[in-house]
Amino acid sequence: MSQELWSQVDGYLAAQYLEQDDLLEQVIREQEARGLPAIQVSPLEGRLLQLLVGAMRAKNVLEIGTLGGYSAILLARALPDDGRVITLELNTKHAEAAQAAFRATGVAHKIDLRPGLALETLPKLRAENHVFDFVFIDADKENNVYYVQQALALSRPGTLIVVDNVIRDGDVMNEASESPMTQGVRRMNDFIKSEPRLMASALQTVGSKGYDGMAFMLVVE
């Protein structure tokens, strides 16, 4: 099995399940033109996030890691008119690209981008008494354990927390890994194991983004 095959199958499935979307394709092109890395969720992964948000009738979504706004736009589109996405982004260049993309796709009124370090913004969201139905964690993997802890503090029973990039070509298995990202995911997994309020699973995936996966956590009490 090869990356080429995984990408072809992703392309086939996307052509079957997803509608042609010129606005979104323009967002990707603009992201590239501005020199941002092409590490956004794949179209099918984005649709999975939309299915989850729609299934739970979420209204308040938190995203950690905006990049050029691709996943935030998909999350916003999955929400009702009075739904809101708060998305956190450290990099000013990324935040500017995302704000332009939110305007271009007509979802700016549903998205509140908070610039700065997520670890500094999250306590502010608590002080503002935000409670989120759905949280998507997709930023610096080194801080994943803190992001899950903060997400839990901003949750209610029934909140779903999704974390991207938790497999990393299987490196998550490697306790001696020298990758700070892997060690960040492993610390998160130790926290999940210790935390009875989280019911968790993870899926290993192959596709256009290689061999990786997402973790899913339901806040149960």
Chain residues that interact with ligand DHB, rule: CB under 6 A: 39, 138, 164-165
Question: Both tokens of residue 115?
Answer: 């610039």
Q: Does 94 bind ligand SAH (CB under 6 A)?
A: yes
Of the two residues 45 and 83, which places its CB atom closer to ligand DHB in the complex?
45
Q: Which stretch binds Mg ion (CB under 5 A): 5-13, 21-29, 100-108, 165-173?
A: 165-173
- Contact (CB, 8 A) for 129 and 174: no
Q: Which does 43 bind (CB under 5 to 8 A by kind): Mg ion, ligand SAH, ligand DHB, none?
A: none
Nearer to ligand SAH, 66 or 205 (CB): 66
Q: For residue 186, what are its two tokens?
A: 């492993």
* Maximum distance among all Cα pairs of the chain, rounded to whole angstroms: 49
Residue 156: closest CA among 215, 219, 199: 219
Query: Residues 152 to 181: which contact ligand SAH by CB under 6 A?
Result: none
Please give the residues from 134 up to 153 whose contact with Mg ion meets the rule CB under 5 A: 138
Distance between CA atoms of 43 and 128, rounded to whole angstroms?
33
Residue 56: contacted member of ligand SAH, Mg ion, ligand DHB, none (CB under 5 to 8 Å, by partner type) = none
Cβ contact 116:90 at 8 Å: yes
Residue 10 contact, options Mg ion, ligand SAH, ligand DHB, none, Cβ 5-8 Å cut-off depending on partner type:
none
Q: Using CA atoms, how far apart are residues 129 and 151, in angstroms rounded to an integer?
A: 13
Q: Can residue 90 be called a binding residue for ligand SAH (CB under 6 A)?
A: yes
CA distance 111 to 70: 12
Q: Which of 45, 86, 164, 214 binds Mg ion (CB under 5 A)?
A: 164
